Amino acid sequence: MLLKLVVWSILAFLLMPLVIIVLFSFHASPSLSFPFAGFSLRWYAEVLGNAQLGSALVKSLTVAGFTALITLVLGAAASLAWLRLGHRGRALLEVLCLTPIALPGLFVGVSLLVLFAQARVQLSTVTIVISHVVLALPILIVAMRARLALFDPSLEEASRDLGASQMQTFGKVTLPLIAPTLIASAILAFAVSFDEFVVTSFVAGTETTLPMYIWSMMRRTVTPLINAISTLALVFSIVILVAAWLIGHLRRRSAVAGRTVS
Amino acid sequence: MTIRPPVIEITAAQKMFGSFQALSDINLSIEQGEIVTLLGPSGCGKTTLMRLIAGFEAVTAGSIKIDGRDCAGQPPERRPVNMVFQRYALFPHLDVFENVAFGLKVKGTPKAEIRERVQRMLHIVQLDSFANRYINELSGGQSQRVALARALVNGPKVLLLDEPLAALDLKIRQHMLVEMKRIHAETGATFVYVTHDQDEAMILSDRVVLMEKGRIVQIDRPETMYAAPKSLFAAKFLGETNLFEAAMAGDDASGMTAVTGSGLRFHSSIVPAGELRGKVIVSIRPESFRFNRDNDTTQSAIGQVEDVIFIGSRSFYTIRLADGVRVRVQVQRSTRTSLPKPGENTEVFWDSDNVVILPQS
Amino acid sequence: MKAPSIRMGGLLAAPAVLYMVMFFVVPSLILFVYSFWTAASYRIVPDFVFSNYLNSLMSPLFWTVTINAILIGLVTASITLVLAIPVGYYLVYVSRSQVILYLILITWFSSYLVRIYAWRTLLGTSGVLNTILIQAGIVDTPVDVFLFSRFAVAITLIHIYLPFCILLVVSSLSEIKKDLIDAARDLGASPLGAFFRVIAPNAASGLVGAFMLTFVMVAGDYVTPQMLGGSSGQTTGLLIADQFRKTGNWPLGAAQAFLMFLVSIVIYLSVMGLGRATGLVVKRRPARKAGG
């Protein structure tokens, strides 16, 4: 079938550069061209021995961890709110979330920069986390919104009817039902933060996250060292995706839908 | 009437979805102008069979001929059949007129002709004044008519209808059934109608094709299928019935006899579909029982009235027979005969032409 | 029951809303105010002048880079959408293949910089593409126009934003039932005919949305052109970024950011207008649930 062929060609286009990156990360010679001179783990060894890289990685993991945590807390509250808000409340939340998603990172980056400058806030890890939450929170809320549309509000009413207080209903009915989606979304927030570059470059000050370190290396040279780092980052993304997918499967068993999702 | 080839002729058709056998050994021919119903529970393959005819799926084996021509490999747009979809599938970006005109437009019919044919069709479905309405401004019944018009305006050899009334309220459904018969009479098209609703099938069809688990189990006129089902499945699927486990006890010129474990004898004058021996099932419709003896009535049983449900024109009795078996009896309201009351002992009667003896499986 | 529930909702939403107001709405407003201020020798002075806007609009450089950004944006977003549609169509109507979906997600979540780097190594003079071409005897000397050209920028941007665009297309096609395609086919339309006559008009607003979001992302992406575009890599985004990082003329940068924003809106309106004029975009009335 022609369509299938077209689809797989497009997928090949998407995957081919990644495959090349991974392939050359194992290249025995520093050149990034064919003929392939044999496999070696030397670039990975070099990655492990690079102290600057290590500290950039730790910085990125810290930032992404805090971003995911803050996004999760704010997002969970907003998701619970979503179930209770009227049309106007939902519309407000939607505008606040969709606008930053529809804007280039550049715009968000420079506006946060002027905010911090105006408020005389020193650029630091804190400002990076604040900025990343601005990017991740809307994504989490938009992802939750699609899920919550399927949430049956009568589940909460049933719980109240059976004698549970509002707090008990939150804890025993609503939260367990939306938790898998929330956690999966928080993992995505982590991924967004971990990979963020454009906004970070405006608000990082003298801090160096992993993407910023990679950027500085990329500007200077082309070396399989970057391939090795990239491969590790790629593996990390896949692990994150698989984690989100596994949690998504838990979700399917829990009855978030309440009704079947067709 | 001249003899024509059947408008649809399906021979030994099979359909596999992966390793799942959706349809096996389908043989069916449909005559010009008929209304044929594909009836069966969900998952029996009736919709798949319709989609095979329409060209949305291809047969795994066997052949389908439309108007005498084998249509293997022919995509849906090249087949002289049109379909009414379960949820109508009306185009939301077009108004009623444009929806109905769609097929003609695609085929490049001249504008004037499109206008004329669409208007005539809208007149037939009684939507003349709705031509410029958008789809979301229509009620369920009106959408249904648009869907019918959109298909029929192309003058298909066969109109395929996939559970067209499933989305409608009961009242509108009954009205649309009558409408559908009228439109059929007015256009003279051949209808193939898929449904799981036995009432729709009975009311509408010239012939009913009963399907179960991917096979055709019986093809008959609705009256015949109701009166003389050829299988336990057919007896149970069409209408309500009383079933008795029994064993064959005789076979002579006047018919067959089966006897239950407790000695209740049933004599049937209906010719069975196949050979019957050993254990069988006896099926008698609730309305075939009576409380009064007719001249030719030869069979009866003694029992006690356990329960009576009165629903206007009819009453449903539950009679507990001497051996403990319960039967349902349906009687018409009558001012002339006296009917038994709950708790009373009574005798129920039936005739041999209402007794159907079926194989056990 | 209803009123306390809504109040509770307001209470729960407050932290998130407050956060977004503080760190998105307020900064945007400050940026807007900045665009009327002036900068003199690295000091920013509150003011109310239109000179930032006027100077930008009269600067040939601004127009050159903006037209460059728009061109890159339009071409890339168009190609991206054209590639995204078959994949989206396949995922929605042919096979809900989890494998394909996850392959797309993997590319989407693979690092942005890594993908830029990948194309750099692929297209460079001693890169993979050139080596293959030389070994296959197609060219004698490395082709250096692969890298540092609009071609390099476009192909990389397509690669970066295609997964995102596919997901947008999938979500907009998901609203249109397969029944409509079947009905169109049944009435005599070919597969392509069914797409253009039925799917495209009904999905038009979603597809235009996907195009515009891709356009905004692509036109605002200054890193890719900077890394792969060479002399053709100057875009408005880079110009704006440099005002904030190097030149230090923040008010000018702010004004240019809003001009870029304005340009996006103008382009959105033109695309919609073009769609309407060609009849591809029609006002779609949302289909009411059948049976009602």
Percent of chain A with pLDDT over 90: 29
What chains are in contact with B, requiring at least 3 Cβ pairs below 8 Å? C
* Structural domain spans, chain C: 63-278
- Can you tell me the mean pLDDT for C67-87? 93
Q: Per CB distance under 8 Å, which residues of C are interface residues toward B? A: 177, 179-180, 182-191, 193, 197-198, 201-202, 282, 284-288, 290-292
Q: Is C139 left (phi over 0), alpha (psi -120 to 50) or beta?
A: beta
Contacts of C30 (CB under 8 A, 6+ apart): A111, A114, A115, A118
Q: How confident is the prediction for chain C on average, in pLDDT?
A: 85
Shortest CA gap C193–chain B (Å)? 8
Place of tokens 């550069």: A17
Rounded-to-integer distance, Cα B217 and Cα B31, Å: 19
Q: Is A25 left (phi over 0), alpha (psi -120 to 50) or beta?
A: alpha
In this complex, whether B and A touch, counting 3 or more CB pairs under 8 angstroms, is no
Q: What is the pLDDT of residues C24-61, one digit of tens each?
A: 999 999 999 989 988 877 678 888 888 889 988 999 98
Shortest CA gap C134–chain A (Å)? 10
- Is the bond preceding residue C142 a cis peptide, omega within 30 degrees? no
List, in order of start, the domains of chain B with CATH numbers: 8-227 (3.40.50.300), 240-359 (2.40.50.140)
Structure tokens at B267: 């004599």
More confident residue, C108 or B160: B160
CB contact under 8 A, A3 and C90: yes
Contacts of B40 (CB under 8 A, 6+ apart): B46, B196, B210, B211, B212, B237
CB contact under 8 A, B140 and C291: yes
CB contact under 8 A, C291 and B169: yes
Report the pLDDT value the prediction gives residue C74, as an integer from 0 to 100: 92
Report the pLDDT value the prediction gives residue A205, as an integer from 0 to 100: 85
- Can you tell me the mean pLDDT for C209-226? 89
In this structure, which amino acid lies at residue C234?
Q
Selecting from A104, A115, A237 the residue whose C-beta is nearest the C-beta of C109 gives: A237
Q: What is the pLDDT of residues B165-191, one digit of tens each?
A: 888 888 888 888 888 899 899 888 899
Structure tokens at B348: 């129920």
Place of tokens 């923040």: C250
**Alpha helix positions (H), chain C:** 2-20, 26-34, 51-58, 60-89, 98-109, 112-123, 128-135, 150-173, 178-186, 191-194, 200-220, 223-228, 236-242, 250-278
Shortest CA gap A103–chain C (Å)? 7
By the 8 A CB rule, do A144 and A182 touch? yes
Report the pLDDT value the prediction gives residue B318, as an integer from 0 to 100: 93
CATH topology of domain C63-278: MetI-like fold (1.10.3720)
The continuous run of DSSP H or E covering B223 comes out as helix B222-227
- In terms of Cβ atoms closer than 10 Å to its own Cβ (0-12, 13-18, 19+), residue B343 is exposed
Rounded-to-integer distance, Cα C169 and Cα C80, Å: 11
Rounded-to-integer distance, Cα C282 and Cα B357, Å: 62
Selecting from C187, C286, C290 the residue whose C-beta is nearest the C-beta of B143 gives: C290
Which residue on chain C is closest to A241 by alpha carbon?
Answer: C106
Rounded-to-integer distance, Cα B160 and Cα B48, Å: 12
- Rounded to the nearest 10°, the torsion over CA A194, A200, A201, A206 is -100
Across the strands, what pairs with B214?
A: none
Which of the four pLDDT bands, split at 50, 70 and 90, describes residue B336? low
Report the pLDDT value the prediction gives residue A47, as an integer from 0 to 100: 86
Structure tokens at C196: 């253009």
Which residue on chain C is closest to A132 by alpha carbon?
Answer: C23
The continuous run of DSSP H or E covering B106 comes out as helix B96-106
Across the strands, what pairs with B21?
A: B16
Task: Give whole-number Cα distances, B18 to A82, B21, B60, C27, in Å.
Answer: 43, 8, 10, 57
Rounded-to-integer distance, Cα A60 and Cα A55, Å: 9
A32 shares contact with chain C (CB less than 8 Å): yes
CB contact under 8 A, A74 and C110: no
CB contact under 8 A, C159 and A138: no
Report the pLDDT value the prediction gives residue C281, as an integer from 0 to 100: 65
Rounded-to-integer distance, Cα C80 and Cα C161, Å: 7
Report the pLDDT value the prediction gives residue C283, as an integer from 0 to 100: 57
List, in order of start, the domains of chain A with CATH numbers: 57-252 (1.10.3720.10)
Q: How confident is the prediction for chain B on average, in pLDDT?
A: 89
Report the pLDDT value the prediction gives residue A250, as an integer from 0 to 100: 65
B134 DSSP assignment: B
Q: What is the pLDDT of residues A69-109, one digit of tens each?
A: 999 999 988 888 887 787 888 888 888 888 888 888 899 99
Residue B55: list chain C partners with CB under 8 A: 185
Which residue on chain C is closest to B135 by alpha carbon?
Answer: C287
Which residue on chain C is closest to A87 by alpha carbon?
Answer: C6
Rounded-to-integer distance, Cα C232 and Cα C92, Å: 38
Which of A111, A140, A145 is the mutation pick for testing C, counting most C CBs within 10 A?
A111
CB contact under 8 A, B92 and C187: no
By the 8 A CB rule, do B302 and B322 touch? yes
Rounded-to-integer distance, Cα C40 and Cα C26, Å: 25
3-state DSSP call for residue B309?
Answer: strand
Q: B215-220 and B207-212: which strand pairing? A: antiparallel
Number of neighbouring beta carbons within 10 Å of residue A170: 17
Residue C27: list chain A partners with CB under 8 A: 111-112, 114-115
Shortest CA gap A59–chain C (Å)? 17
Report the pLDDT value the prediction gives residue B136, as an integer from 0 to 100: 87
ipTM of predicted assembly, 2 dp: 0.86
* Cβ within 8 Å of C, A 87-146: 89, 92-93, 96-97, 99-100, 102-108, 110-115, 117-118, 130-131, 133-134, 137-138, 141
Report the pLDDT value the prediction gives residue C247, as an integer from 0 to 100: 78
CB contact under 8 A, C287 and B136: yes
The continuous run of DSSP H or E covering B300 comes out as strand B299-311
3-state DSSP call for residue B280?
Answer: strand
Q: What is the pLDDT of residues A177-236, one digit of tens each?
A: 788 888 888 888 898 899 899 999 999 888 899 999 989 888 877 778 888 988 988 888
CB contact under 8 A, A133 and C112: no
Cβ burial B147-166 (10 Å sphere, 16+ → b, else e)? bbbbbbbbebbbbbbbbbbb
Report the pLDDT value the prediction gives residue A175, as an integer from 0 to 100: 79
CB contact under 8 A, B103 and C290: no
What spatial distance separates the first Cα and last Cα of chain B, rounded to whole Å? 41
Residue A117: list chain C partners with CB under 8 A: 250
Q: Which of B54, B9, B8, B63 is nearest to B33 (CA)?
A: B8
Which residue on chain C is closest to B92 by alpha carbon?
Answer: C287
Count of CB pairs separated by less than 8 Å, A with C: 242
Contacts of B293 (CB under 8 A, 6+ apart): B300, B347, B349
By the 8 A CB rule, do B286 and B296 touch? no
**Is residue B99 predicted with pLDDT exceeding 50?**
yes
For chain A, the three-class secondary structure string (H helix, E strand, C coil) is CHHHHHHHHHHHHHHHHHHHHHHHHCECCCCCCCCCCCECCHHHHHHHHCHHHHHHHHHHHHHHHHHHHHHHHHHHHHHHHHCCCCHHHHHHHHHHHHHHHCCCHHHHHHHHHHHHHHCCCCCCHHHHHHHHHHHHHHHHHHHHHHHHCCCCCHHHHHHHHCCCCHHHHHHHHHHHHHHHHHHHHHHHHHHHHHHCCHHHHHHCCCCCCHHHHHHHHHHHCCCHHHHHHHHHHHHHHHHHHHHHHHHHHHHHHCCCCCCCCC
Q: Which of B317, B321, A262, B158 is nearest to C186 (CA)?
A: B158
Which of C95, C182, C186 is the mutation pick for testing B, counting most B CBs within 10 A?
C186
**Is residue C71 predicted with pLDDT exceeding 80?**
yes
CB contact under 8 A, B91 and C177: no
Report the pLDDT value the prediction gives residue C82, as an integer from 0 to 100: 95
Phi, psi of B255 (to 5 degrees): 140, -155
Shortest CA gap C279–chain A (Å)? 26
**Is residue C2 predicted with pLDDT exceeding 70?**
no
CB contact under 8 A, A96 and C20: yes
CB contact under 8 A, B102 and C187: yes
Structure tokens at C1: 């029951």
**Is residue A260 predicted with pLDDT exceeding 60?**
no
Q: What angle do CA A178, A184, A186 make, to 5 degrees?
A: 100
DSSP string, C226-262: HHH-GGGG--HHHHHHHIIIII--HHHHHHHHHHHHH
Structure tokens at A138: 């809307």
Which of A115, A141, A167 is the mutation pick for testing C, counting most C CBs within 10 A?
A115
Phi, psi of B69 (to 5 degrees): -115, 135
Report the pLDDT value the prediction gives residue C145, as an integer from 0 to 100: 67
Which of B48, B88, B93 is the mutation pick for testing C, counting most C CBs within 10 A?
B93
Which residue on chain C is closest to A211 by alpha carbon?
Answer: C113
Rounded-to-integer distance, Cα A255 and Cα A150, Å: 10
- Can you tell me the mean pLDDT for C262-281? 81
- Can you tell me the mean pLDDT for B65-75? 89
Q: What is the pLDDT of residues B312-322, one digit of tens each?
A: 888 899 999 88
Shortest CA gap A217–chain C (Å)? 10
Which of B91, B150, B161 is the mutation pick for testing C, counting most C CBs within 10 A?
B91
Report the pLDDT value the prediction gives residue A248, as an integer from 0 to 100: 67
Please report how the helices C250-278 and A105-118 are oriented relative to each other, as an axis angle in degrees rounded to 10: 150
Indicate the range of A218-227, B13-22, B79-88 predicted with least confidence. Answer: A218-227
Contacts of B339 (CB under 8 A, 6+ apart): B291, B315, B331
Rounded-to-integer distance, Cα C180 and Cα C173, Å: 12
For B174-199, the three-class secondary structure string (H helix, E strand, C coil) is HHHHHHHHHHHHHHCCEEEEEECCHH
**Is residue C221 predicted with pLDDT exceeding 50?**
yes
Shortest CA gap C87–chain A (Å)? 5
Place of tokens 């209770």: A84
By the 8 A CB rule, do B242 and B321 touch? no
Q: Which of C290, C48, A41, A32 is nearest to B172 (CA)?
A: C290
Which of the four pLDDT bands, split at 50, 70 and 90, describes residue B296? low
Shortest CA gap C36–chain A (Å)? 14
Handedness of CA A64, A67, A73, A78 (dihedral sign): negative
More confident residue, B254 or B33: B33
